[in-house]
Structure 1
């Protein structure tokens, strides 16, 4: 009997990416009908068994994935992204006969204690981590203890994109902020400011690079670009204070891009909507108030996480293993353009 067809085989036969095949299997509603039909035809022709990939976890003790339930954020805006990811992950896992166990922890050390408790008690077979950062002790502990896991977020170290130690799925924030900046450059003018988080945040630094790339391509010198950016902690109040500082130092702005919808909302509250703004995360706040934002395709992220947990990798990097399937998934975000809110805060 020949080797069983793989996701890669199906992708090649259908002329699509592995991620698209995974979406057809786990989240068909996010795939265009004609593409979905082509993939399904390839599955039938090759005799691929869509749910065989979950067997690795099902043969363990609990068929359960553990994930930390993050604390509620003060403004309740940015936290909605992880809530939506959790919902997508739970829904897709259920379709594969897997369960998601939620737990809480106040900090990384507390999360590690939960890892120890849940793994010792055989309550979970694998973990999903969110909010990764450089030098993350959680990933180090899981690797040292031979646990299966995938992170939503890169390791943010020297070797981000090809890190050999663990499996990850992330959204390409650089391309998202670049698209947002290019949109404003083409519609409102060439003085596009940036409100970001303090340096050292891997996610924030990555998004800032997208703004920088677009602005440099527009012809502005680095000395001028320094006047067009301000860093602030995440939050509506911080965003409002930051835009006042940015306007003061920039001497005029045509528009602003932000690393979060919380900062973007701060811009709106401080300026009354007179400065075009683009946020990041496309939260319900952005949709209800009508400002543009970069959307993270969380169904694709969740599908990628489960693919790495249940597929050929089984949630672990195999030292010296010859596995052709990539250990990482970098998902492209989408700019959602809206007309902007009315000047309801105008003074």
Structure 2
């Protein structure tokens, strides 16, 4: 069966071949009514552009490049996996491809970008995992290479720079909403488990918890610090950090017992209940930290302690943890819209005002009745 052509679309839509081409390549210059008619004809005929011919004609690769981050662990890695899936799916709908590449350091990533750009293999880049003093964005701007970041320009004063396109999830708002939810349920000593400072993303999320605790309870800096625990983003590290926090919350004598006999045995020996640990809820900067906290608190007899994570990973759903969900489909859509416009498929020089150069997307709290599954084996750090 013959494949439909541009001429077929033009005939059905009663427009010229050039108008069809404009709708496909520069839709913004076509009147809405005409564009709608052409798009209806494209859908009716099932027409798909010859992408190879277009790439040769336009001297464009129709490809976006993105570094595949090293997988630190299977929990946090799920966030990038979901983002890549959403980005690839939505790019394909626009007739674009995604090229994945690897790099161990920001400097290696810059070198990979330079090589891919010089070979005309990639039209623009999507950066992830932004951080304080990130050298990648400055280099890309200086070399006039189109890019968008999933994450804000932490620590530098270009939050509204139209040359730096970025999309991010409002972590502060997500954690604020999670904390308010716990306070509305009657919790008062809501603890925070986050990453060591400075951390752009982590500090932003922590600020949501701080704001909620200040507004509702009037806590000062010293009181907030007393409710904070820091850990690197790994389940064993988070488990150990929460165990240490539980121990610190008891008397020095009980701390000695924990060191000798384990947390569960120490609680029984002291004859004290779970409430003596000093927290009645915990908000975490990630699901990885939340899972570590769950292991620590469950093994210490605190199976009813409310814990909320961040990212809403499959692990959180599996164990019944409430979590703040990042709407990654919206993140991918926002990144493509900034690079390509609402419907286009060609990377160009964006003509954006400073306040149009970014998208801050609201997350959503997913509430679950935590299973707090009885652990068949206590955490090694909580046993003798």
TM more than 0.5: yes
Q: Please give the alpha-carbon distance, in whole angstroms, between the structure 2 residues aligned to 1:144 and 1:200.
A: 26
C-alpha contact (below 8 Å) 1:228/1:246 kept by paired residues:
no
Change (3 A) 1:224 1:325: closer
Q: Please give the alpha-carbon distance, in whole angstroms, between the structure 2 residues aligned to 1:233 and 1:165.
A: 33
Matches within 5 A, 1:245-264: 245-250=244-249, 251-264=277-290
Matches within 5 A, 1:1-347: 47=36, 59-73=58-72, 75-159=73-157, 161-222=159-220, 223-250=222-249, 251-272=277-298, 273-311=303-341, 323=353, 326-345=356-375
| 1:323 Cα deviation after fit | 4.4
C-alpha contact (below 8 Å) 1:132/1:154 kept by paired residues:
yes
| 1:188 Cα deviation after fit | 4.6
CA deviation vs aligned residue, 1:236-279 (integer Å, no higher than 9, x gap): 11111221233344551000000000000001111113321000
TM-score if structure 2 supplies the norm length?
A: 0.72
CA deviation vs aligned residue, 1:288-322 (integer Å, no higher than 9, x gap): 1111000000000000000011028976776xx67
Q: Which runs of 5+ in 2 are unaligned?
A: 1-31, 41-50, 250-276, 379-384
Q: Please give the alpha-carbon distance, in whole angstroms, between the structure 2 residues aligned to 1:219 and 1:128.
A: 41
Larger Rg: 2
Q: Please give the alpha-carbon distance, in whole angstroms, between the structure 1 residues aligned to 2:145 and 2:94.
A: 21
C-alpha contact (below 8 Å) 1:154/1:160 kept by paired residues:
no
Change (3 A) 1:157 1:232: same
C-alpha contact (below 8 Å) 1:174/1:210 kept by paired residues:
yes
Q: Please give the alpha-carbon distance, in whole angstroms, between the structure 2 residues aligned to 1:60 and 1:79.
A: 35
| 1:163 Cα deviation after fit | 3.5
SS, match of residue 152 in structure 2: coil
C-alpha contact (below 8 Å) 2:162/2:354 kept by paired residues:
no
SS, match of residue 323 in structure 2: strand
C-alpha contact (below 8 Å) 2:189/2:280 kept by paired residues:
yes
Q: Please give the alpha-carbon distance, in whole angstroms, between the structure 2 residues aligned to 1:105 and 1:308.
A: 25
CA deviation vs aligned residue, 1:111-135 (integer Å, no higher than 9, x gap): 1111011001000000000000121
Q: Please give the alpha-carbon distance, in whole angstroms, between the structure 2 residues aligned to 1:160 and 1:207.
A: 20
SS, match of residue 329 in structure 1: strand
SS, match of residue 166 in structure 2: strand
Q: Which runs of 5+ in 1 are unaligned?
A: 1-42
SS, match of residue 106 in structure 1: coil
- The answer for the alignment partner of 2:262 in structure 1 is none
| 1:61 Cα deviation after fit | 1.6
Aligned length: 300
Question: Alpha carbon RMSD of aligned pairs, Å?
Answer: 2.8
| 1:343 Cα deviation after fit | 4.1
| 1:324 Cα deviation after fit | 8.1
Q: Please give the alpha-carbon distance, in whole angstroms, between the structure 1 residues aligned to 2:79 and 2:281.
A: 25
Q: Please give the alpha-carbon distance, in whole angstroms, between the structure 2 residues aligned to 1:298 and 1:46.
A: 29
Q: Please give the alpha-carbon distance, in whole angstroms, between the structure 2 residues aligned to 1:161 and 1:50.
A: 36
C-alpha contact (below 8 Å) 2:319/2:373 kept by paired residues:
no
SS, match of residue 356 in structure 2: coil
